Amino acid sequence: METEKQVTQISVEDLTVILKDHQFFRVRYFAKKHNDYIERMGMVDDKMKLWEDSKEEICFTYFDLKQNGYRTAKNIDYIQTASLRKEALN
């Protein structure tokens, strides 16, 4: 038996507004470098941005808490607000 997955589409502008109301988020995206999906915890700040590139793909620059630096994600599976727990960084 297959379960249906509910997908909610949202504009880049609306997602940015929602994220800025929170301090932390979780992002999952496909990383070509690793040829696999990666899930990271990030922090909302003034340098965070979502935009569409010339191929109309969504790009997301964010501060990665585990890597302690900025990253840009493409091929995004999901972004969701999150609360931070110490174990989330391990």
Give dist(CA 55, CA 58) in Å, integer: 9
Among 11-20, 41-50, 80-89, the range with the most confident prediction by mean pLDDT is 41-50
More confident call, 53 vs 5? 53
pLDDT (tens digit per residue) in 26-71:
999 999 989 999 999 999 999 999 988 999 888 999 999 999 999 9
Residue 61's pLDDT is 95
More confident call, 20 vs 40? 40
Give dist(CA 22, CA 40) in Å, integer: 16
- pLDDT (mean) for 2-11: 64
Task: Let me know: does 82 contact 60? Beta carbons within 8 Å.
Answer: no
Residue 65's pLDDT is 94
Parallel, antiparallel, or unpaired for β 76-82 and 49-52? Answer: unpaired
Strand partners, 39: 28
CA-to-CA dists, residue 74 to 21, 44, 78, 84, 90, angstroms: 22, 18, 11, 23, 23
- For the question of whether the overall pTM of this predicted structure is more than 0.85, the answer is no
